[in-house]
Structure 1
Amino acid sequence: MSLSVCIEHIGSHLLVHVGGDVDLENAAKLTDTLVAAASAPNNTGMIIDLAATTFFGASGLTALVTVANRGHDDGFPVAVTAPRHSIVRRVITLTSLTDILPFTDTVRDAQVLLDLIQLTNMPTKERSRLHHRDSTG
């Protein structure tokens, strides 16, 4: 299955829907798309929705780390969402990426989390702790 990326605004945040397979062949396209979206004017945060992603290789993890670092450097939060029991979620959890990037079950949860981060100016490390407590609950 090929990669599909769709970007929309949800409130003051960007919502990036990623679908299909993310692999070595197309991860550069995903990285470029995420970095370009992160540069959008008036961007107060980014939600990366992986619910429709069917394969997520190591190169996809690199794309997420790249945009998370960009967000950290530029002062906007990034959150990722995928269904709790999906293979994508397991890959991201096993690699401990959730330690640097907030992860939620739904787009709505991610939107609330980004709004909270924005209101409190919460540091990156604390963002992950907040989410981790909520997830393990």
Structure 2
Amino acid sequence: MPWIQGPVQPNAAMGQTIVSANSFTELSSRNSIRTEICEEPAMSTTAFVLALPGHIDSSAVGKMETEFYARVNGVGPDCAQVIIDMEETTFLSSLGIRLLVTSSKMLIRRSIPLAITLPRHEAARSALELSGLTNAIPTYANVAEAQGAAGHQS
């Protein structure tokens, strides 16, 4: 997969091989997006993980949305699912909600499932729940749980 950069690292605890891509946007000291490809050979699933830590406000979305959408569009057809990891997200504005909705629509058109990990921070979790997205997009406590659910849907 030519869009993956970085070393392959075995994750024996989870039985996974994780290929980590370089961070593609450094928004500030508290905001950056990480991407990973997680493969779980036992379940023949490949997940593309986009991690959104920090403060997702209008300024952050403005700085990252073009590259974020490019990453979502760049997911290959062999991808079992895209996971947006929001465990470390502390704030989520309406523009952050729009980012998630647009990503979901992009993936639905390509028949690629989307899952979201719930933020641990109460304000971000509440914003996600109040938006209704938790009823429209499958949510999980962490990436491993989301991957496990995708593996059992095959």
Give the number of the structure whose residues are more often strand, by fraction: 2
Deviations along 1:14-46, one digit per CA (max 9) or x if unpaired, are: 111111111111214443333222222233211
Distance in 2 (alpha carbons) for counterparts of 1:10 and 1:31: 23
TM-score, normalising length: structure 1:
0.76
**Structure 1 residues 121-132: aligned runs within 5 Å:** none
Cα offset, 1:85, TM superposition: 6.2
- The structure whose Rg is larger is 2
**Structure 1 residues 25-36: aligned runs within 5 Å:** 25-36=59-70
Q: Output the aligned Cα RMSD.
A: 1.9
Distance in 2 (alpha carbons) for counterparts of 1:84 and 1:76: 25
1:25 counterpart SS class: helix
Count of matched residue positions in the alignment of Structure 1 and Structure 2: 118
Letter in 2 for 1:111: Q
Give the number of the structure whose residues are more often helix, by fraction: 1
Which has the bigger relative contact order, CA under 8 A and spacing at least 6?
Answer: 1
**Structure 1 residues 104-119: aligned runs within 5 Å:** 104-117=140-153, 119=154
Gaps of 5+ in 2: 1-28, 40-45
Distance in 2 (alpha carbons) for counterparts of 1:29 and 1:100: 26
1:51 counterpart SS class: coil
